[in-house]
Amino acid sequence: MTEYNKGLLYKWVPGLGMLGFIILIESMVMLINPIYAGNIGQMASSTGILAEYYMWGNYAVIIGLSLVLPFILRIKFRFRSKELLITALVVMATMTMIVATTHIGEIVVVACLIFGIAKMIGMVEMLLPIQAILSPDGDKKRFYAIFYPISIGSGQLGTFLPAVLSLDTGWQYLHYYGAATLLLLAMICVIVMHNQRFAKKLPFIHIDWLGLLLFGTILMSLAYIYAFGKQQDWFNSANILVAAIIVLVSIFTLIIRQLTIKHPFLSFKLYKIRDVRFGILLLVGQGLFMGASSILSIYTSAILGYNWLTNAELGLMTLPGIVLAGFVAFHWTKNQIPIKMYIFSGFAAYFLYMVMLYFMMVPELNITQLYFPQILNGYGMCSLFISIWIYTFDKVPQSTILPSVAPVMIFRSFVMLGLFTSLIGWLQYEFQWQSIGDMAVYFDSLALGYNLGTGGSMRDVQLGAILAANKRLLGYVIVAGLGILLFVLFHQFGRQKYAIARYRAYLKK
């Protein structure tokens, strides 16, 4: 009779050793990536590959994470945990080496997609025991309150550390060290992980492979538009138009297929739940604020002249806000406080962050003055990741939550973030040229050598145009943010009752 073992390691491994193993594997899997956003400029200049390919590859990692989620449990029940984790680590190491050595952009993108798939398989193997440790009673809310700050904080460290290391050693060596670390972890897994199955072996049946292909086609085509849109002048490019047509046709085909087959790849029953629909609407607001955060990067790079390392150091100032959001979330969930005002606090922090940036758009600014806005940025980002996720999936059955997470996760982390980042980048460029046009009246005087308050140089005109465009964009975001705050304030979140914008109490249904 076959024996099953829901643990990961042999019985001779002590409890502290098991805890250390889980923390080591999960932290390395989360930190190591094939592309680090702060190093894209170095990678492009070193290899001759367009920076847009690396941006496309960065999106491909997120897409790979989401593609495998709907049938991740079938993969877990089909193979042993040892087989899955070792294979995932080896594949991640191989893809990392390919990205570090290739000079072909398309290979970078494919390698990143495969890396994302392997990364999710490895993460899920660790997430189940981590959830049991952080929330022994199976409380999803408590797990999110602890795990998300750790995950988001690791992401911030994963931006800063590569920037520092690549400055000292070169970006390729960072990939070499990452690949070597992953292979070393795979060797450790060979030694300490048992060979038993997690549960009864299940075959690969009732998987909609065509639906998976359509879903991947939609996302990769959309990622191409986001990455290459600015470089190819958006819809004036034939390539962008073709990609947009592929997205629309694939969406239509996928919807028809999912509604007509017996075992769909994506179940649309999830969207019949009221909280899920409103949660997705809140994710649009979160995507707006996260995309608008790119305005700070434009300001620090173009106006203040910061390099990628200084920008990465500035990004570390989000960590106190992330930690604070985690503490507040833990208290909120522990005491079963209604989630509405926690969601409101996240949007309010983002709103205040944008207001402060609006008044900081000046030619010279001390970096320390940006610390507090970054703390607000970290709190808003982390609190909304936790609170919207709790609100959206609170009524989703535990048995269906993993397949349900994929479309919502990709909507939050890729579709909305990529859309608003691209939209704001395009608007900033358009507003910048409009500002230069508005100041064109002074150009003749500049040519004659007069100083009519324009700074006496064309460079000052350009910097003034960037500042004007940034302030205009931030003004629009602030107005939209005010609307989001009012929506959250007046919306009834499940059990809560409100009257004329006053938070009174909550009544059980």
Terminal CA-CA length for the chain: 49
Closest alpha carbon to 67 in 122, 120, 31: 120
Task: Write down the pLDDT at residue 508.
Answer: 46
CA of 3: how far to CAs of 78, 196, 201, in Å?
15, 7, 12
Rounded distance between C-alpha atoms, residue 78 and residue 391, angstroms: 32
Contact 282, 339 (CB under 8 A): no
- The C-alpha angle 158, 164, 170, rounded to 5 degrees, equals 105
| Nearest to 320, CA basis, from 161, 164, 153, 157 | 153
Instruction: Indicate the pTM of the whole model.
Output: 0.86
Q: Where are the beta strands (DSSP E) in 173-239?
A: none
Q: What is the CA radius of gyration of the chain?
A: 24
Q: In whole angstroms, how far apart are CA 44 and each of 52, 77, 279, 288?
A: 9, 41, 38, 28
The whole-angstrom separation of Cα 234 and Cα 425 is: 12
How many residues can be counted in the chain? 509
Contact between residue 267 and residue 404 where contact means Cβ atoms under 8 Å apart? yes
**What pLDDT was estimated at residue 218?**
93
Q: Can you tell me whether residue 496 is helix, strand or coil? A: strand
**Residue 339's pLDDT is what?**
85
Do 74 and 207 meet the contact criterion of CB atoms below 8 Å apart? yes
Which of 56, 52, 26, 30 is closest to 41 using CA atoms?
A: 52
- Residue 445: the pLDDT is 55
pLDDT of residue 442: 61
Contact between residue 90 and residue 183 where contact means Cβ atoms under 8 Å apart: yes
Nearest to 417 by CA among 221, 244, 148, 227: 227
β-partners of residue 505 are 497
Cα torsion 85, 86, 88, 89: sign: positive
Query: In degrees, to the nearest 5, what angle opens at C-alpha 275 toward C-alphas 156 and 377?
Result: 25
Farthest CA pair distance, the chain: 93
- How many C-beta neighbours within 10 Å does residue 434 have? 14
Q: How far apart are CA 183 and CA 96, in angstroms?
A: 11
> DSSP string covering 72-83, please?
HHHHHHHS-HHH
Query: Over its length of 509 residues, how does the chain's per-residue pLDDT go in tens digits?
Result: 466 666 777 788 787 888 888 888 888 888 888 998 878 888 888 888 898 999 999 999 999 988 888 888 788 878 888 888 999 999 999 999 999 999 999 999 999 999 999 998 888 888 878 877 777 776 777 888 888 888 888 888 878 888 788 777 888 888 999 999 999 999 998 888 888 777 777 777 777 888 889 999 999 999 999 999 888 888 888 999 999 999 999 999 988 888 888 877 777 777 778 888 888 899 999 999 998 888 998 888 888 888 878 888 888 889 999 999 999 988 888 888 888 889 999 999 999 999 999 999 888 888 889 999 999 999 999 999 998 888 888 777 666 666 667 788 888 888 888 889 888 988 888 888 887 777 766 655 555 454 444 444 667 777 888 888 999 999 999 999 999 999 998 887 755 444 444 444 444 44
- E strands, 126-271, are none
Q: Are 20 and 129 in contact (CB under 8 A)?
A: no
CA pair distance 154, 175, nearest whole angstrom = 18
